Amino acid sequence: MQLLSLTLENFRSYERKTFRFGTNTTLLVGNNAMGKTNVLEAISLLATGRSFRAQKTEEMILFTKELARVTGKVEQLLPATDGDTGPSVELEVLLTRGELQGKRVAKRRYRIDEVPKRYSDYVGRLVVVVFRPEDLELILGSPSVRRAFLDVVLSQIDREYRRSLVSYEKALVRRNRLLDAIREEGTARTHLAFWDQLIIKHGQVLTQKRMAFVEAINRFDAEIDSFRVTYDSSVVSASRLLQYAEQEVAVGYTLVGPHKDDFQIVTSDKRQVTSRGRDLALYGSRGEQRLAVLWLKLAELSYVSQTIGERPVLLLDDILSELDHDHRALVLRILPHQQTIMTTTDLHLVGQTKGIEVVELHQSQKD
């Protein structure tokens, strides 16, 4: 899998800029605020349909502009042809502020070869694994950060998962509104039955696939300290919804289901102090936490590669400065195995740049 080119129009700091990428590693070098992370964010948006940092779509649109556009040409390897490349496709994400020329429009629209697509039919043509210093939040952040990680990974590689995720989230919103109406207005509880069936059906798909992913990455063996993931699943079923029925009406929202799931990264060696291992969020040093995130990302890269039958595009956002010499060397050794696009402020951290295309970013954000 390869990203051939990327064109940004009114995206973040870029008015119009085209990048072309080789088959191996591209290194984006520049001082802070030169737009390096913006490029990786755009690639991730092109792949996943989501930003890894923007809370609102408007944040990604250049100030004073109504619309931003991210376009990329992608070439996938066909497994049956042993390395021969298949026809390329053009992916496009359009971003708006919700209004264009006085008309209300969707804030995000997706197209493949200029044909409009729903989100669930768009994602999966370009698959990326992103590694950023902020990924430390996978250990220290809220459960919603960890659930979002699972959703992004699995939505890219499993169509059933992303369709169930979309359906589950829509059903959950409607069910919560109904629970609130039951509490505030005395609406009949019998109306819950339809939404109960939907969140059970789609929620169980999400839980099963998340747990299968966790089991797979726990089998991953890397050249770093041993870690594993412990998964806390909030199973949704008819009996559990019945069990929590009174409490849900009292609070006005759904209390069980995969939207309540969480996981922890724990040690998996002699240092563990309980049968679950030592929770690194509570008892890990900052160095251990960084290593655990590196382990998780390498496990993700391995899992995604095995699942789709080809290597995804690896995006590394200034992570070399976060690692010691040995683990920096480990990351550098995996670069040639897939197309990698990485950023740094310090070229010396990379060391030998043979076979690496170096692109220096300067103040101008226009071709």
- Read off the pLDDT of residues 171-195 as tens digits, 9 standing for 90 and up: 999 999 999 999 999 889 999 999 9
The reply to whether 1-127+312-367 and 136-309 are identical in fold is no
Fold of 1-127+312-367: Rossmann fold (3.40.50)
* Residue 24 CA: distances (Å) to CA of 93, 144, 311: 25, 34, 12
pLDDT band of 349, cuts 50, 70, 90:
confident
Per-residue pLDDT reduced to its tens digit, 61-116: 999 899 999 999 999 765 433 344 457 899 999 999 988 888 899 999 999 999 99
Lookup: tokens for 237: 């079923």
Any idea where the domains of the chain sit in the sequence?
A: 1-127+312-367, 136-309
Tell me the torsion sign for CA atoms 142, 147, 148, 153.
positive
Rounded CA-CA distance 108/193 in Å is: 32
Binding residues for ATP: 30-37
Contact 129, 314 (CB under 8 A): yes
Rounded CA-CA distance 181/159 in Å is: 33
Task: Please tell us whether the domain made up of 136-309 is placed in CATH 3.40.50.300.
Answer: no
Rounded CA-CA distance 79/83 in Å is: 7
The answer, yes or no, to whether residue 363 has pLDDT greater than 80, is no
Q: What pLDDT is stored for residue 87 in this prediction?
A: 76
Rounded CA-CA distance 54/31 in Å is: 21
Binding residues: 30-37
Name 284's Cβ contacts closer than 8 Å, sequence gap at least 6: 139, 267, 278, 292
